Amino acid sequence: MSKTNYTKCLIIGGGPAGYTAAIYTSRANLMPILYEGMQPGGQLTTTTEVENFPGYPEGVTGPQLMEDLRKQAERFGADLRSGQIEKVNFDHRPFIVTTDSGEEIQAETVIIATGASARYLGLPDEQEYMGMGVSACATCDGFFYRKKKVAVVGGGDTACEEALYLSSLAEKVYLIVRKDYLRASKVMQRRVLDKENITVLFNTNTVGLFGDEVLEGAKLVENAGTEKEQHYEISIDGFFLAIGHTPNTEVFKPYIATDEQGYIVLPTATTATNVEGVFAAGDVADSRYQQAITAAGSGCRAAIDAERYIMEHE
């Protein structure tokens, strides 16, 4: 394929949403260009086993799933490129975006599929045990911890929801809360506190993880910096981060409307943003579901929306 810097549809992001959008726009003969970003394949590349994506009855590793989607997009002619977008100009069409290598791309439509990055505590151990006990998605990975002991970090609704979900699978769930109270809604607080196999550890921070190849436990400190400071360890098989995600929207904020958390706002029932011709798909515009299958579905929707926009404006 000869390289061009003009396209009817530029897709920014190489996760389930981006690759699915590339499949659909390629089949619609829009000759899309897709920039895969810093982490081709997105968050699923750090997930060892995916069992809830349709079409894989025996399960599939996250990297393999992403590679399959990528190959399918390539099969239909998508121009997949490494690198990320450093600057955008959405003042007029064709839109102009600048890559980290300084290249300028002109695009009649843009699909933003840059995803959201899970927030971590910043412990070196988190990366060491990533996919080997550490996860940022209980819905994705909770099944692997049936009858085992797990911990969830966080004190908001998301953390409580994940703790409750895991409590139906795991033998024991620790909810590690750095404050002396839960920030979650009253209903969620009551459900967590009433659940027999959930123990809430207030005023507690995680200072380390340990294990021989796979996670075996966490090092905690209670009442840090006070005369009641106490260090101890808990034995766990899984460690789930539930302290939120950061949507990857910074480069688009001069033009694209976002909510207080930074997620792209979609004003209508479509994937259209507040800028005509710019669409958003996947976790970058989804603070609720954040699943591979919902991201892929929204990538399909964005591709169809982009195709229809081009047809209406040609």
- CA 118 to the chain's CA centroid: 6
Amino acid (1-letter code) at residue 156: G
Q: Is 141 among the residues known to form the active site?
A: yes
Q: Of 9, 79, 125, 137, which one is the catalytic site residue?
A: 137
Q: Is 140 among the residues known to form the active site?
A: yes
Q: Which residues contact 164 (CB under 8 A, 6 or more apart)?
A: 188, 191, 192, 195, 198
- From the CB of residue 259, how many other CB atoms can be counted at a distance below 10 Å? 12
- Using CA atoms, how far apart are residues 101 and 253, in angstroms rounded to an integer? 21
Q: Of 79, 140, 237, 305, which one is the catalytic site residue?
A: 140
Amino acid (1-letter code) at residue 311: M
96-to-202, 246, 293 alpha-carbon distances in Å: 50, 25, 30
Q: Is the CB of residue 134 less than 8 Å from the CB of residue 209? A: yes
Q: Is 194 among the residues known to form the active site?
A: no
Q: Of 125, 141, 237, 305, which one is the catalytic site residue?
A: 141
Q: Is the CB of residue 112 less than 8 Å from the CB of residue 273? A: yes
Q: SS3 for 125? A: helix
What residues act catalytically? 137, 140-141
